[in-house]
Amino acid sequence: MNHPPHAKFLQVLAVCLLVGGALASGHSAALTVPTPNILDTASPNAAEVSKLFWLVMGFSIFVMAIVVAFMVAGIVGGIRDRNHDEEPPQTHGNLKLELAWTIIPMVILAILLIPTLRAIFILDGFAAPENAIEVNVVGRQFWWEMTYRDSGVITANEVVAPVGTPVKLNLASADTMHSFWIPQVAGKTDLIPGNQRTLWFTPDREGVFYGQCAEICGDSHANMRLRLVALSPEKYETWLAAAQQPAKPPQAELAVAGSQLFIDKGCVNCHAVQGVNTYNRTGPDLSHIGSRTSIAAGILPNTRENMIRWLRYTDTVKPGVAMPNLGLSQEEAESLTAYLETLTLPGFDIERAFGDAPTKAASTQAAPPTPQPNDTLEKRVENPR
């Protein structure tokens, strides 16, 4: 049976919409991470970028409306005139038209240039106010190291900052190029090996804001995430004091056994825990891992199940990761997890700091899909050949 061409087109369109719809719904079911809305800003710095966006958008819509209007007029006129076979008037070499479509875009671009330059100067890292909290950020394959200049506090994959105080980040890379991007507070800034870059912003409300490495840096580039935890100034002071204290030593039998495994299995060679060993910049500092909202560079919510999975199947969860698969048994992983859970910030509870704001609980829904260890892998790990 022969369909007219437009029927075929409609069929193809229908199939595309169905497949697209199915993909989109499957996608959102699995990926319930609240995608940061760039326009829902959490700092005046990001608001500058957002203002520029709307300005450019406004001009674009204006230009598009004019082009579409001419196009529609042309099509409608052409259809009405269908029976005329004379050639339409030729406009090649029309000086007025040529001048018009050269000068008008120039004027539009010149108008856009002024606010763009203004924003560039405001957002420049060197323009950070004097009272800014300085944090050194080092991008590594595939995680972020944060060191607070004044207090010496070290965190990983989380920038904790007070609302209303500027934060200046000194960005560097330890290996390849990365790009620091927490869309709701500031634009992207590349981390270039051998080169120091700066970025600054002032969080203007409390919350947990998601970030992502925005420069292809290897296998787990997409798994190199981070968060900004913006706290009220009082809560920030409590956090800062707690972050300088070692966690309480483990009491429960399982956790004590885990603390021994932490040494026996060689975890201490790369990871530091305050009061146990000193930080050597190989792997993230774990002094207060129990209080972090996420693990594995922000890809997994910090829950018991996820920690066990992460410890046992490091390379499946985060391909290309430097942490080796130690071939831990389920019991060993549970014991280590019990120990890591005790490493919390003394006197500071991140869950309580937010009340019902998004933290660990919300980051459970915020969990991106992570590769599940498949059966064969599980068997291979349990019965290594």
The number of residues in the chain equals: 385
* Nearer residue to ligand CUA within complex by CB, 221 or 235: 221
**Choices 29-37, 121-129, 210-218, 285-293 (CB under 6 A): range interacting with ligand CUA:** 210-218
Cα Rg, the chain, nearest whole Å: 27
Least distance from C-beta 200 to ligand CUA, angstroms? 21
The footprint of ligand CUA on this chain (CB under 6 A) covers a number of residues equal to: 9
**Residue from the set 48, 145, 215, 334 that interacts with ligand CUA by CB under 6 A:** 215
**Residue from the set 48, 135, 137, 139 that interacts with ligand CUA by CB under 6 A:** 139
Q: Report if residue 284 touches ligand CUA, rule: CB under 6 A.
A: no
Q: Is the preceding omega at residue 348 within 30 degrees of 0, hence cis?
A: no
Q: Report residue 247 CA to chain centroid gap.
A: 28
Least distance from C-beta 283 to ligand CUA, angstroms? 16
**Residue from the set 168, 221, 225, 309 that interacts with ligand CUA by CB under 6 A:** 221
Q: Burial code of 205-240, b = ≥16 C-beta within 10 A, e = fewer?
A: ebbbbbbbbbbebbebbebbbbbbbbbeeebbebbb
- Three-class SS state of 118: helix
Phi, psi of 85 (to 5 degrees): -105, 10
Phi, psi of 74 (to 5 degrees): -65, -45
**Residue from the set 146, 156, 213, 247 that interacts with ligand CUA by CB under 6 A:** 213
Q: Report if residue 224 touches ligand CUA, rule: CB under 6 A.
A: yes
First to last CA, the chain: 60
* Nearer residue to ligand CUA within complex by CB, 178 or 292: 178
**Choices 97-105, 126-134, 208-216, 326-334 (CB under 6 A): range interacting with ligand CUA:** 208-216
Site residues for ligand CUA, 158-187, by CB under 6 A, read 178
Least distance from C-beta 237 to ligand CUA, angstroms? 31
Query: Which strand (E) or helix (H) includes residue 231?
Result: strand 225-231
Q: Burial code of 164-174, b = ≥16 C-beta within 10 A, e = fewer?
A: eebbbbbbbbe
* Nearer residue to ligand CUA within complex by CB, 173 or 335: 173
Site residues for ligand CUA, 142-161, by CB under 6 A, read 142
**Residue from the set 167, 169, 217, 261 that interacts with ligand CUA by CB under 6 A:** 217
Reference 177, options 142, 131, 207; nearest CA is 142
Chain contacts with ligand CUA (rule: CB under 6 A): 139, 142, 178, 213, 215-217, 221, 224
